[in-house]
Amino acid sequence: MIFYICLINEYLMPGRASILVIGASGQIGTELILELRKQFGSARIIASDIKVPGYEVLEGGPFEILDVLDKVRLDEIVRNFNIKEVYMLAALLSATAEQNQAYAWKLNVEGLFNVLHLAREKRISKIFWPSSIAVFGPDTPKDKTPQKCIMNPATIYGISKLTGERWCEYYFMKYRVDSRSIRYPGLVGYKSAPGGGTTDYAVQIFYEAIRKKKYICYLKKDTVLPMMYMPDAIRGTIELMNAKFEKIKIRSSYNFSGMSFSPDTLAAEIKKHLPAFECLYSPDHRQQYADSWPRSINDTSARKEWGWKAEYNIKTMTSDMLENLMN
């Protein structure tokens, strides 16, 4: 009890700038919170979400219930905790956004807008907001997709992310708002479960391979998509946020690349460790979203401008995933 009173006093100390993560119970939020706490100290990192997070996030530091669409509550948290940086991760992903289009638009676009507005009013000084490979569409070059090219997204999620990119750039040009963004590929990690995405199979396959030795994949076996291992994604995100202001030349969102693979290539890699594993294929509605996205991404701008470089490939990622999930 005394420990918590001390912590609360410390968070509320005027002058001590804190970082707010909105969407801290999600796949990226969970891992980002743990890393930010490690790097900056638990007291400075305020986790928030509409739902209660897992044990590690909840017990390791301050957590606040927050719906980013509730401007009054957002305002209160920013004031009470002296928030200066915001990671705005709350979103509906590609598959759930198609089922709930109006809410997806509201959360993905208005949610960002509420945070951009705080920066415009100089209440906060820096924002991270994730975009996605879903900003690209069927007309986009599929291989080594360039930073700038024809986009025309074909999903509600992609349309909302492209809109967000335009808002971020506009707010930078007009009000000098320091927002930074990455176009995440599919993310694979063992600390938190994804939800509602098209690339989620690449996490589910590991759990089912271990538990049942069998997985039925909802994408065709040869559907190649850009992917990344979570430790790379988290490191890249924090590196982008720590980069000097002048280095950030792209204020919409950076192409960001790790590896590319299809379900059958990943299944074959898992089979090297678990020979009895079998993957079957039964494509559903998510196939069309995946078919509209690139196969691989050219991230030259991120590499040149702020030094991005992925470390993991499919082999090292698979060994690390299995080692962590099986021990």
3-class DSSP state of 87: strand
Contact status, residue 112 vs residue 167, Cβ threshold 8 Å:
yes
Q: Give whichever of 62 and 294 is closer to ligand AKB, judged by the CB atom.
A: 294
Supply the minimum distance, in Å, between the C-beta of residue 157 and ligand AKB.
6
Angle between helices 263-273 and 201-211 (to 10 degrees): 30
Task: Examine the residue annotation and report whether 254 is marked as an active-site residue of this protein.
Answer: no
- Distance in Å, CB of 289 to ligand AKB, minimum: 7
Cβ nearer to ligand AKB, comparing 157 with 172: 157
Closest CB 148 distance from ligand AKB, rounded Å: 19
For 199, phi then psi, to 5°, come to: -90, 5
Sheet holding 182-184, edge to edge: 131-132, 182-184, 254-255
**Footprint of ligand AKB on this chain (CB under 6 A)?**
93-94, 132-134, 157, 184, 186, 197-199
Comparison of 98 and 269: residue with beta carbon closer to ligand AKB: 98
Between residues 199 and 260, which has the closer beta carbon with respect to ligand AKB?
199
**Which spans in the chain are helix H?**
2-12, 27-40, 55-59, 71-80, 94-99, 101-105, 111-120, 156-175, 201-211, 230-242, 263-273, 286-291, 300-306, 314-326
| Residue 115: HSE in the Cβ half-sphere, 13 Å Cα cutoff | 33
Q: Minimum Å distance from CB 137 to ligand AKB?
A: 13
- DSSP for 207-262 reads HHHHHTSEEEESS-TT--EEEEEHHHHHHHHHHHHHS-GGG---SS-EE---EEE-
Which of 157, 190, 218, 312 is the catalytic position? 157
For ligand AKB, give the closer residue by CB, 93 or 118.
93
- Least separation in angstroms between residue 181's CB and ligand AKB is 12
Closest CB to ligand AKB: residue number: 197
List the catalytic residues. 157
